[in-house]
């Protein structure tokens, strides 16, 4: 009897579970319920993406810039409004990419984060290239590299060193820095030869040889970056980085690095969070935000020259300093936060990894796009800009070669960026080739 009762109760439970599942399937099949569920998910997604971030209070500056463009002739105000309006869009672009990364895995998600983290710079560069503003393209992309390597990395090292002052130093995987430094030096080589060829007047065909060399070098740099992505996705980088860490450094440094790396690997698993929006919602938001960024970028680029005259600022300072700081605002904040959480490996991936992607992918990509548009976009960034990039890469390579970070290194990088900013504040393009 008791066995029969137990069988009856278990069968009743199974029937109850089945009956509980029936309404869900009915809801899924009913068109009206489908529409209600879709509307509810859209409203929830809008609440999360638009109204959950405090920085979105700056969103009205975007439409205001478009209205002011047609109602007034104040290019400086239009430039400022569009510049401020792009800041929350860049931050939300990073957020949506992180939501997509939760569905694609850490490796692909990291590449997506780096790629769409630079989407703002790419869109601004393409619009400037379309308008024939080649120097703005070159200087804005150069400024993105400089701000990531000096300002972002410097603020991260400084903030992390202050928060973890009792540890004296923070450690990161030096293999990442070695590979990225090599790629950045290759990018410097690709940018140097067209400039040297031009200013030494050693071209076979004046004005054409440097463009041809730039296009060939851009294709080589794109192949190198594609090889780097394959190397990353294959998982071989982990063994290489581990071997570098084991072969170099003292025993105490190796223990500290392995302890720091094990903590960095363990913490994301402990703090793993569920995505707040769905995959297709992330894709839709990504397309929508990218479209809005592209619209504002057009008004931003058109107002650069007028803003330069209104504020009495060199176009070089606006392109190298102001535009990259806005475009990299989200990356700046995330890199500093990761450093304060003692996750310097992620910080280096955001700062130096983003610089590597701009130097090895975005700049050559713009040269190829200019080739298609029949614009003479080349890798001749002029001697002043090329020398600045070369010195910056050397300084950062020396700073990260030992795999450690502290607040003094961060302060030195920030001060170096202030010197660069002051240099471009007093820099104008030469009017003739002889200059």
Q: How confident is the model at residue 386, as a pLDDT?
A: 93
Taking the C-alpha atoms of residue 355 and residue 184, their distance in angstroms, rounded to an integer, is 8
Q: Does one domain contain both 208 and 283?
A: yes
Q: How confident is the model at residue 282, as a pLDDT?
A: 83
Final residue of a domain: which of 29, 52, 75? 52
Q: Is residue 435 part of a domain?
A: no
Burial class (CB in 10 A: 0-12, 13-18, 19+), 115: middle
pLDDT level of residue 416 (50, 70, 90 thresholds): very high
pLDDT level of residue 264 (50, 70, 90 thresholds): very low
Q: Is residue 433 part of a domain?
A: no
Q: Which of 4-8, 60-64, 347-351 shows the lowest mean pLDDT across its residues?
A: 4-8
Per-residue pLDDT at 417 exceeds 90: yes
Q: Does one domain contain both 145 and 231?
A: yes
Q: How confident is the model at residue 241, as a pLDDT?
A: 46
Q: Does one domain contain both 140 and 289?
A: yes
CATH number for the domain including 59?
Answer: 1.20.1420.30
Q: Does one domain contain both 7 and 98?
A: no
Residues 6+ apart with CB under 8 A from 179: 228, 237, 240
Q: How confident is the model at residue 189, as a pLDDT?
A: 93
For 100-149, strand residue ranges (E) read none
Q: Is residue 347 part of a domain?
A: yes
Q: Does one domain contain both 9 and 59?
A: no
Q: Is residue 137 part of a domain?
A: yes
Task: Return mean pLDDT, the chain.
Answer: 79
Per-residue pLDDT at 254 exceeds 60: no
CA dihedral 154, 156, 161, 167 (to 10 degrees): -130
Place of tokens 């401020």: 84
Q: Does one domain contain both 177 and 46?
A: no
Per-residue pLDDT at 131 exceeds 80: yes
Place of tokens 């607040």: 407
Task: Please give the residue that has the higher pLDDT: either 229 or 334.
Answer: 229
Final residue of a domain: which of 12, 35, 52? 52
Q: How confident is the model at residue 90, as a pLDDT?
A: 79
Q: pLDDT > 90: what percent of the chain?
A: 26
Q: Is residue 434 part of a domain?
A: no
Q: What average pLDDT does range 137-159 have in this prediction?
A: 92
Q: How many domains would you assign to the chain? A: 2
Task: Please give the residue that has the higher pLDDT: either 77 or 251.
Answer: 77
Q: Is residue 48 part of a domain?
A: yes
Q: Does one domain contain both 134 and 256?
A: yes
Q: Is residue 432 part of a domain?
A: no
Final residue of a domain: which of 52, 75, 92? 52
For 42-185, strand residue ranges (E) read 170-171
Q: Does one domain contain both 217 and 252?
A: yes
Q: Does one domain contain both 93 and 111?
A: yes
Q: Does one domain contain both 177 and 230?
A: yes
Q: What does the pLDDT look like over 288-308, one tens digit per residue?
A: 988 888 888 888 888 888 888
Q: What does the pLDDT look like over 177-218, one tens digit per residue?
A: 888 889 999 999 999 999 988 888 887 777 688 899 999 999
Residues 6+ apart with CB under 8 A from 257: 171, 172, 173, 174, 245, 249, 403
Q: Would you give the DSSP letter of residue 166? A: G
Q: How many residues does the chain have?
A: 435
Q: Does one domain contain both 109 and 17?
A: no
Per-residue pLDDT at 360 exceeds 70: yes
Q: Does one domain contain both 121 and 2?
A: no
Range of 398's domain? 54-425
Cβ pair 130, 373 in contact under 8 A: yes
Taking the C-alpha atoms of residue 209 and residue 215, their distance in angstroms, rounded to an integer, is 10
Q: Is residue 430 part of a domain?
A: no
């Amino acid at each position: 009897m008791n066995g029969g009762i137990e069988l009856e109760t278990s069968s009743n439970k199974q029937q109850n579970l089945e009956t509980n599942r029936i309404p869900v399937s009915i809801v899924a099949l009913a068109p009206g319920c489908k529409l209600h569920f879709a509307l509810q998910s859209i409203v929830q997604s809008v609440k999360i993406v638009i109204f959950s971030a405090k920085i979105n209070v700056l969103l009205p500056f975007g439409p205001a810039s478009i209205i002011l463009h047609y109602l007034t002739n104040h290019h400086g105000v239009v430039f400022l409004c569009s510049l401020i309006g792009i800041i929350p869009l860049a931050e939300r672009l990073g957020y949506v990419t992180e939501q997509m990364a939760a569905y694609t895995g850490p490796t692909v998600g990291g590449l997506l984060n780096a790629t769409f983290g630079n989407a703002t710079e790419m869109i601004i560069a393409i619009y400037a290239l379309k308008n024939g503003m080649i120097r703005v393209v070159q200087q804005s992309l150069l400024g993105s590299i400089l701000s990531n390597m000096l300002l972002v990395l410097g603020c991260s090292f400084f903030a992390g060193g202050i928060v973890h002052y009792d540890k004296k130093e923070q450690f990161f995987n030096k293999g990442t820095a070695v590979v990225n430094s090599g790629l950045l030096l290759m990018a410097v080589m690709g940018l140097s030869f067209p400039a040297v060829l031009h200013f030494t007047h050693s071209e076979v065909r004046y004005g054409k040889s440097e463009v041809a060399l730039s296009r060939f070098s851009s294709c080589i740099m794109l192949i190198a970056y594609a090889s780097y992505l394959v190397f990353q996705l294959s998982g071989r980088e982990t063994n290489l980085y581990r071997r570098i860490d084991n072969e170099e450094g003292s025993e105490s440094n190796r223990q500290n690095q392995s302890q720091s790396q094990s903590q960095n690997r363990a913490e994301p698993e402990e703090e793993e969070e569920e995505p707040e929006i769905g995959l297709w919602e992330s894709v839709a938001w990504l397309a929508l935000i990218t479209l809005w960024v592209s619209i504002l970028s057009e008004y931003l680029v058109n107002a650069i020259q007028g803003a330069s005259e209104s504020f009495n600022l060199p176009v070089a300072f606006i392109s190298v300093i102001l535009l990259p700081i806005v475009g990299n605002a989200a990356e700046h904040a995330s890199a500093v936060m990761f450093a304060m959480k003692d996750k310097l490996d992620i910080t280096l991936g955001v700062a130096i990894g983003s610089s590597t992607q701009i130097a090895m992918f975005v700049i050559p990509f713009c040269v190829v796009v200019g080739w298609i548009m029949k614009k003479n976009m080349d890798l001749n960034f002029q001697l002043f800009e090329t020398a600045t990039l070369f010195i910056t890469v050397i300084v950062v390579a020396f700073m990260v070669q030992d795999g450690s970070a502290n607040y003094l290194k961060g302060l030195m990088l920030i001060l170096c960026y202030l010197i660069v900013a002051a240099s471009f504040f007093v820099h104008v393009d030469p009017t003739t080739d002889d200059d």
